[in-house]
Amino acid sequence: MGGILNSSIARKVAMALSGLFLVLFLLQHFIINFTSVLSAESFNEISHFMGTNFIVQFLIQPILIFGVILHFVLGIVLEYRNRSARPINYVRFNGSANSSWMSRNMIYTGLVVLAFLGLHFYDFWVPEIVHKYVESHPEDPTRYYHETVAKFESPVRTGLYVLSFILLSLHLYHGFSSSFQSMGWANKYAKGLRGFTVAYAILIPLGFIFIALYHYFNNV
């Protein structure tokens, strides 16, 4: 990886910036999803806007996809380099004595979230693209709610969603505050910021889990 990402610090900053961007995206995704619990009409209206607005579809969406790809490709590159930095492992390594499980296992929680993204794309993004741009169906602004709710009929899929969001929570628990440290943020607000990031890491994934379970039990 050359050019601007040639230094370890630059790679970490790119990781932090793409991570923060995804954290912001997660919040807006949560707010939109939550409207599905409150009102089918509102959910349909917002989804229709997001699905048909030119700026969202052809400017924000490609930036988002770039952000996701940058984050996971860099994550894998960093993991590879980190492993190369210790070619012979310790026979005994007591990591839990000095660091959290979340901080030591970002690659694994990240890979689970990536696998979930695969499922999510298979469930929603790919059918949406095919519906709109391949088969060119006429727009039906009322279809979104039923399509979404139908995905949560399966207990297996709902279970996978719940599990993935637990792993996402663990990923964010370390990653969100860690991104500020990578960008050089260490001042009197750092402690408060840490509290905010931990609350975010627990509450937002919990919110997504609530939405999935709400629709599952409504379907039963």
Is residue 5 a contact point for other proteins (CB under 8 A)?
no
CA atoms within 13 A on the CB side of 78: 21
Write phi, then psi, for 180 (nearest 5 degrees). -70, -40
Q: Applying CB under 8 A, which part among 20-28, 40-48, 57-65, 83-91 lies near other proteins? A: 83-91
81 binds other proteins (CB under 8 A): yes
Q: Does 84 bind other proteins (CB under 8 A)?
A: yes
Query: CB of 66: closest distance to other proteins in angstroms?
Result: 21
Closer residue to other proteins in complex, CB, 53/100: 100
87 binds other proteins (CB under 8 A): yes
Instruction: Give the one residue of 122, 185, 196, 217 binding other proteins; rule: CB under 8 A.
Output: 185
Q: What is the nearest approach in angstroms of other proteins to the Cβ of residue 120?
A: 26
The reply on whether position 195 binds other proteins by CB under 8 A is no
Among 39, 53, 99, 154, binds other proteins (CB under 8 A): 99
The reply on whether position 28 binds other proteins by CB under 8 A is: no
Q: Is the CB of 183 or the CB of 202 nearer to other proteins?
A: 183
Task: Give the 3-state DSSP-derived string for the chain, with helices as H, strands as E and coil as C.
Answer: CCHHHHCHHHHHHHHHHHHHHHHHHHHHHHHHHHHHHHCHHHHHHHHHHHHHCHHHHHHHHHHHHHHHHHHHHHHHHHHHHHHHCCCCCCCCCCHHHCCCHHHHCHHHHHHHHHHHHHHHHHHHHHHHHHHHHHCCCCCCCCHHHHHHHHHCCCHHHHHHHHHHHHHHHHHHHHHHHHHHHHCCCCCCCHHHHHHHHHHHHHHHHHHHHHHHHHHHHHHC
Does residue number 182 form part of the binding site for other proteins (CB under 8 A)? yes
Q: How far is the CB of 67 from other proteins (least distance, A)?
A: 20
- Give the residues lining the site for other proteins (CB under 8 A): 7-13, 78, 81-82, 84-95, 97-100, 103-104, 106, 174, 178, 181-186
